[in-house]
Chain A
Amino acid sequence: MIATRPADTADALEGGFTEAPIQSARAFREILEAMARPGTIRRVQGARPPEPLSVAAGVALLVLTDPTTRLHLAGRADCAEVRDWVAFHIGAPLTRAEEADFAVGTWEALHPVSRFRIGQPDYPDRSATLIVEVDRLVNHGPALTGPGIETATWLNLPETAAFRANRALFPLGFDTLFTAGDRIAGLPRSTRVEAI
């Protein structure tokens, strides 16, 4: 790929894992715990992606995406710096929302989320994973129940209606990772969400 702006190309080469096998293993373990225990907030490190991506979103992309996964950059995340960084460190083909295996952006930029793939009735795993950038993550807000949660927990979701509609599709539906700074939380399609 020929970079249009050489000055940015240097930046694009930075910010990946320096010791990929170890760093991705530690990061995946945090992501696994986050997804297996919806609502728990974990910390990840090792990536320095360009603005506007958070550290956690960069880590999630490095750990989970590669040339075999179609990636959708939404809103401000779809900028030259991020595209170059993804091209160098990940090599994931960029695509529109409807075809994406992974999508990253703010909740507003990802809307309407009903366009993302929800899997097929015989292959519900063929669905999108959304990496939603939020300002902060706190265990306060809508109540979460379901697999991975002993009784109930709470997480400051950007809204509840979309996640209730997503749960109603189970076993179809998209899965979500929320990222804020170096914090990450998971919300699989199996989680029941209730506004309180």
Chain B
Amino acid sequence: MTEHIEAGAYTFAYLDEQTKRMIRRAILKGIAVPGYQVPFASREMPMPYGWGTGGVQVTAACLVPEDRLKVIDQGADDTTNAVSIRRFFQRTAGVATTEATTEATVIQTRHRIPETPLKAGQILVYQVPIPEPLRFLEPRETETRKMHELEEYGLMHVKLYEDIARHGQIATSYAYPVKVEGRYVMDPSPIPRFDNPKLSGNPAIQLFGAGREQRIYALPPWTEVVSLDFDDHPFQTSKAPHDCDLCGAQDSYLDEVITDDQGGRMFVCSDTDFCEGRRAKGHAGRLGGDQKSSKTFANSFEGIWPGTEGAR
């Protein structure tokens, strides 16, 4: 669909200047206190809460006309959420867009960190549904705020311990809590714990925006981020024990896709750009011999993939 928008129909990057100043001040305070959730006056955006309004506001406050924007939704560039946010900024900021991680200067993401390592000069903006890592253990904001103030994180370790007591291992597989620079316990957003190691020592700036919950937090480059664990149950990443069926990658995070009603299934890279890149270089997995790309394949499943951000 082609859309003709009059030049100047929107102020650059949609938000008014006073709103952007407020968000920018919150981002800078977030950078100064890594892992601390800065309250901000989240605005109504032209999309519902739960669709990345926090990330969109942070991206809008950071974008410059020279940026090249990439938007991913659980690793994919071409799912509904990613497409609509990318189009939103094409329309309101006129920025160039890309699907290549290496070419992007700003990457807005829902629930994944790209497989391709990020570099200095890039900004990774996370969409966050529930920014408070302690929220499901303690519903009162007054209490969780006090717990962060006093560095009272014992409850989180009790939760992880109960995981071990019940399942024999830490069963938290996404939104795995981390400690930032030895001070704040932080929710890394619902990324799979497979991605947790990429949070630490990352050369890119990582910004987190929670629109409905009105919080912004940040990780400056090279920040130390440690996944919580126990000496006798150290943190471990996890992924499906398969190779990608399209590109054959052994070390990427995989989505399981049901292919028929006979129990057939396949595993494909969740990061579509990474998978495409490998296939373009000639790598092929179990089912990767034909010309069907992961992208067209993913498209055929659009609509039945769950998109409920708040669900846990």
Q: Which residues does A use to contact B, with CB under 8 Å?
A: 20-22, 24-26, 28-29, 31-33, 35-37, 63-66, 68-69, 121-125, 127, 129, 146-150, 170-171, 173, 175, 188-190
Contacts and interface: CB of A to CB of B under 8 A. Distances in A.
B184 to A, nearest CB: 7
Contact of B39 (A22, A66, A125, A175): A125
A125 B36 contact: yes
Nearest to B21: A66
Q: Which 3 interchain pairs have the tightest Cβ spacing?
A: A148-B220, A188-B32, A21-B12
Contact of A35 (B18, B28, B149): B28
Interface string B126-141: 0000000000000000
Interface stretch (B61-69, B242-250, B260-268): B61-69
A170 B13 CA distance: 34
**Candidate in A37, A63, A147 with the most chain B CB atoms within 10 angstroms:** A147
A66 B30 CA distance: 19
A35 B120 CA distance: 14
Contact of A190 (B33, B61, B148): B33
B25 interface: yes
Given A25-B63, A125-B38, A64 B24 contact: yes
A32 B205 contact: yes
A69 B222 contact: no
A24 B29 contact: no
Contacts of B20: 21, 24-25, 28
A173 B184 CA distance: 16
A175 B62 contact: no
Given A122-B145, A171-B184, A36 B31 contact: yes
